[in-house]
Amino acid sequence: MAKRIKIIGTGSYLPEKILTNFDLEKMVETSDQWITERTGIKERRIADDNTAVSDLMTEAAKNAIEMANIPVEKIDGILVATVTPDMMFPSTACIIQNNLGIKQGFAFDLSAGCSGFLYALEVAHNFIASGKYKNLLVIGGETLSKITNWSDRNTCVLFGDGAGAAIVTESNDDSGLLSSVIGAKGEYGDLLYQPAGGSRMPASKETVEKNLHTIFMNGREVFNHAVRTMVSAANEALETAGVEGSDISIFIPHQANVRIMQSTAKRLHIPIEKVFINIDKYANTSAGTLPIALDQAVRNGKIKKGDLILFDVFGAGLTWGAAVMRW
């Protein structure tokens, strides 16, 4: 890697409303025991009707900017990863740029499902490596509750809302991104998708009545692909960084299913006590899981200077990514 990037500030923001498994028991045919045993989820946060993903992301960004102690005038661009934008255009990144009072630089969204934040981090790395940009704001987050079919017990128990952010800049020491790998296999796109709302299937009375604007998922196949792909991506990132799984100080995987995280860690020879898990409180926030977990780990003192962090993600597309960073 020509120039190394590092994160100098993190932030996150979660809606106040909590929806527990016991609440879901009253909505669909399910149980707290069933959800907990199969996913590790106990509760999730839900944005209210008047809150858009840009609102969550703006607050997360403010927290990251405050930690980085950087004036907004020095932010050269904003990259937003989400599959639940405020609207198709303008981009959510442009809305956030206005919310933060940033008058300079670029702003755009990218869509890579749950892998979105790591995709955006890779883009930020290449932008900074070009020498054209110095400080970038990278945000991942979702309001998945707004595209969830709350009558589908197989999917409605899995998702939540939230956002995380990071200020990324060039590293001038041995800290920063040591390796990064991203990939995709579009032939598996039909395993996890939202059918309606785009140019293929524009909104109509029929699409609304059939809940085609919500999440459709083949859970079993997604699970199988997730474990294999996350292990493969992580091994590639570890090898490129020249480290072993046993060298990792903290493993931050995508928070989709606790069994996926446990299985991945086991295959990477990373002790479970080194795995950061918050899925029990927030469920799957897609592009938000990685930056939210990172921010909480930093603020809770679980990450210290010099620690080696392994990130590992998997999402709709199907997409994936892994990265090793020295804090």
User: pLDDT per residue over 259-291, tens digit each?
Assistant: 999 999 999 999 999 999 999 999 999 999 999
Q: Per-residue pLDDT averaged across 107-121, rounded?
A: 98
167 and 25 together in one domain: yes
In 3D space, the residue among 135, 133, 138 whose CA is nearest the CA of residue 117 turns out to be 138
Boundary (domain end) residue, out of 145, 173, 201: 173
Average of per-residue pLDDT across 172-178: 94
Q: Which of 122, 155, 173 is the last residue of a domain?
A: 173
Above 90 in pLDDT, residue 1?
A: no
How confident is the prediction for the chain on average, in pLDDT?
97
Active site residue 125: no
**211 with 309, same domain?**
yes
What is the rounded CA–CA span in Å between residue 113 and residue 283? 15
Domain that holds residue 272: 177-326
What total of structural domains would you count in the chain? Answer: 2
Whether residue 208 sits in one domain with residue 93: no
Report the pLDDT value the prediction gives residue 3, as an integer from 0 to 100: 85
CB 176, CB 304: distance < 8 Å: no
**What is the rounded average pLDDT of the residues 152-175?**
97
User: Rounded to a whole number, what is the distance in angstroms from the first to the last CA of the chain?
Assistant: 17
Mean pLDDT of 167-181: 96
Clarify whether 254 is annotated catalytic: yes
Q: Which three-class secondary structure state does DSSP give residue 326?
A: strand
Please give the single-letter amino acid code of residue 269.
H
Q: Are residues 108 and 216 in the same domain?
A: no
Look at residues 173, 191, 226 and tell me which one is the last residue of a structural domain.
Answer: 173
Q: Which of 114, 125, 135, 156 is catalytic?
A: 114
Span 105-124, mean pLDDT? 98
Digit-coded pLDDT (tens) for 12-32: 999 999 999 999 999 999 999
For residue 167, the SS3 value is strand
Q: Are residues 165 and 25 in the same domain?
A: yes
* pLDDT reported for residue 227: 92
Q: Give me the pLDDT at residue 2, please.
A: 66
In the structure encoding, which two tokens stand for residue 205, read together?
A: 């009375």
Whether 141 and 269 share a structural domain: no
Whether residues 156 and 215 share a domain: the answer is no
Number of H helices, E strands in the chain: 10, 13
Using pLDDT thresholds of 50, 70 and 90, give the confidence band for residue 315.
very high
pLDDT confidence bin for 100, thresholds 50/70/90: very high
Task: Let me know whether 87 and 107 are in one domain.
Answer: yes
Q: Based on the domain organization, do 207 and 253 belong to the same domain? A: yes
Pair 63, 84 in one domain: yes
Q: Determine what percent of the chain is predicted with pLDDT higher than 90.
A: 99
Is the domain of 20 the same as that of 154? yes
Regarding whether 164 and 56 lie in a shared domain, the answer is yes
**Which tens digit of pLDDT belongs to each residue from 81-93?**
999 999 999 999 9
Digit-coded pLDDT (tens) for 194-227: 999 999 999 999 999 999 999 999 999 999 999 9
Of the residues 63, 94, 135, 254, only one is catalytic, namely 254
User: In this structure, are residues 10 and 165 in contact, taking their beta carbons and an 8 Å threshold?
Assistant: yes
Residue 28 is part of a domain; what is its CATH number? Answer: 3.40.47.10
